[in-house]
Amino acid sequence: MNDPDKTDEALIDDGWYLELDAGYIDADDHLVFVGRYDYIIMHSNPHIYPSTIEKPIQRLRGVKTIVVVP
């Protein structure tokens, strides 16, 4: 939002908008959001989404906020 250059990059042919969200459908047919392709940490294969690191840390007692910056 409020970034015209990023918006122009995301618009593709015929007015379609390229989303960079990554997720999957689980066994209960729920859509599970895991991150964004432009936030991937390319340290190993498979690549790591910050949310993969954040979620387990967030569950620890005493942790109020966690942010992993790629």
Closest C-alpha to 34, from 54, 19, 53, 51: 51
Q: Is the pTM of this model over 0.85?
A: no
Please give the single-letter amino acid code of residue 44: S
CA 30, 45, 53, 6 torsion-angle sign: negative
Q: Where are the domains of the chain?
A: 20-70
Q: What is the DSSP string of 4-40?
A: HHHHHHHB-GGG-B---EEEEE-TTS-EEEEEEGGG-
Q: Are 22 and 36 in contact (CB under 8 A)?
A: yes
pLDDT one digit per residue (tens) for the chain, 70 residues: 577 787 777 777 777 777 778 888 999 999 888 777 777 777 777 778 788 888 899 999 999 998 887 7
